[in-house]
Every structure is written in structure tokens, then in C-alpha cells.
Amino acid sequence: MGQPNILIVEDEQKLSRVLQLELEYENYETTIATSGKEALKQMENNQWDLVLLDIMLPELSGLEVLRRVRKTDETTPIILLTARDQVHDKVSGLDLGANDYITKPFQIEELLARIRVHLRNPIKKKEENGDLLAVGELQVNQNSREVKRAEKQVELTPREFDLLVCLLRNKNIVLNREQLIEQVWGFDYFGDTNVVDVYIRYLRQKVDKGYDQPYIQTIRGVGYTIKDIEA
């Protein structure tokens, strides 16, 4: 089996070269695309294990590339590279189907960790039950908004439901408070990020209390995740 193949989409030559050197040092195979059109061509004509996609690109923006690619490819992990002040772009990217984002400037160790996570947990292609999210005995139907654990109905408020769905969609991936705020409350939320802790506590009371195995995990100093017991 060959090494994971990563497409680096970045028009800043110095950064793209640094990324390429770091990734190849970690034994990843890499290809660089420096424009939106070139990236789209590469993604349409080749299979990639993961894509690093800058948002600010010449010819076609990274968001437009993402929008077009996700029409036919829902499974390739895509990590957005964003500027610190591009909050709206981060949210738009996640809504368009990006799996993750990292804000420039970033530590290469953090990027490598995120890459490892997404390569370990590739998105499964949609099946007939694509609206059903599950981990172990916990099941969530996104259409009917029904939640069950061990076939027992779990009653959640709309916000609790949205938070649970967000965690399940990112199963085994640690999300920090800011990421959860953006995905669940929206980029225009200006309240205290501690609201995440409050709702996590609500979820635990309803989803995990009374069971030997808790699904919702706190990663101290980082954030929250739902762990797949069998992972």
C-alpha cells in the first residue's frame, strides 16, 4: 500500500514549499496546485487521500473549488487554510463540506496532527441511511430529529440536538469551543464560549447518565469529542 497522497493548494510559494517539505519528511506523497483552476483540475482528475485548500486563491477561490468538488466527491477529507480574520469564510467552508480548518499562522505540529486524524477516520460514502448518525448504541436520525440510546428515546432541545449532531459528524475528532460555537451557534454569536460547557453538561445528563460507557469525552485543555468505543 502506497503512502497517503496529499494535494497542497496554496498560491503562496514559500508556504507551499514548506508544507511540501514537512509532509514529505513525514512520508506523505505531495503535489502542489497554485490556483483555484489548477486545484479543481487536480481534484477532478486524480484521487487524493487528503487536500489542504487555501481559501484565498487566484482564478477561483478555495470556497468555490470546495463547492464544485463536493457536488461529486463527498468523501475526500479537505482541510481549509484560513486567515485569522476570515470567520465568515470558515463557517461557509464548513457548510460547504470542509472537514476542518486551520488558521494561519499555524504550528506545523498541529496541522500534522489534524492530518493524521482525518486520514485515520475517512468519511464513509453516503448510503441509504445517510441521514442516520450512530456510534455504538447511540443513534440520531437527522430527518426526524429522533435520538435513541439502547433503543430508548432521548428528548433533546433543538440546540442540544444540533450540538450532538455536530459531535457525531466529527466522531473521534476533538473540537474546541470556538469550532463548536461556529458550527452550532453560528459565526455571529458574540456570547461567552462557556455556553458550550453548559450544553455539553446538558447532553451528558441526557445521553450518558446511567450508562457504564460515556460517549462524550472532554480532552482537557483542548475541547470535546464523541469517542467510538470500537475505534
115-155 tens-digit pLDDT: 998 887 654 444 434 578 999 899 999 888 899 998 899 99
pLDDT at 1 over 70: no
Strand partners, 101: 80
CATH 3.40.50.300 for domain 5-120, yes or no, is no
Residue 84 has what pLDDT?
64
Domain positions in the chain are: 5-120, 132-226
pTM of the model: 0.56
* E strand segments, 17-157: 29-33, 50-54, 78-83, 100-104, 132-135, 138-141, 146-149, 152-153
More confident residue, 52 or 100: 52
Number of residues that make up the chain: 231
Whether the upstream peptide bond of residue 4 has omega within 30° of 0, thus cis, is: no
Class (C level, CATH) for 132-226 = mainly alpha
What is the per-residue pLDDT across 170-202, written as a single tens digit (0 to 9) for each? Answer: 988 999 998 998 888 875 555 676 889 999 999
- What's the pLDDT band for 51 if we cut at 50, 70, 90? very high
- Burial label for 142, CB within 10 Å (0-12, 13-18, 19+), is middle
d(CA 88, CA 25): 33
Q: Are strands 138-141 and 132-135 parallel, antiparallel or unpaired?
A: antiparallel
d(CA 218, CA 200): 9
What is the per-residue pLDDT across 32-50, written as a single tens digit (0 to 9) for each? Answer: 999 999 999 999 889 999 9
For 218, the enclosing helix (H) or strand (E) is: strand 216-219
Q: Tell me what percent of the residues of the chain surpass a pLDDT of 90.
A: 58
Set of cell numbers at residue 87? 470567520
How large is the average pLDDT for residues 23-39? 96
Residue 96 has what pLDDT?
85
Set of cell numbers at residue 218? 472532554
Asked if 99 and 141 count as a contact pair (C-beta separation under 8 A), the reply is: no
Widest CA span in the chain: 55
- SS3 assignment, position 16: helix
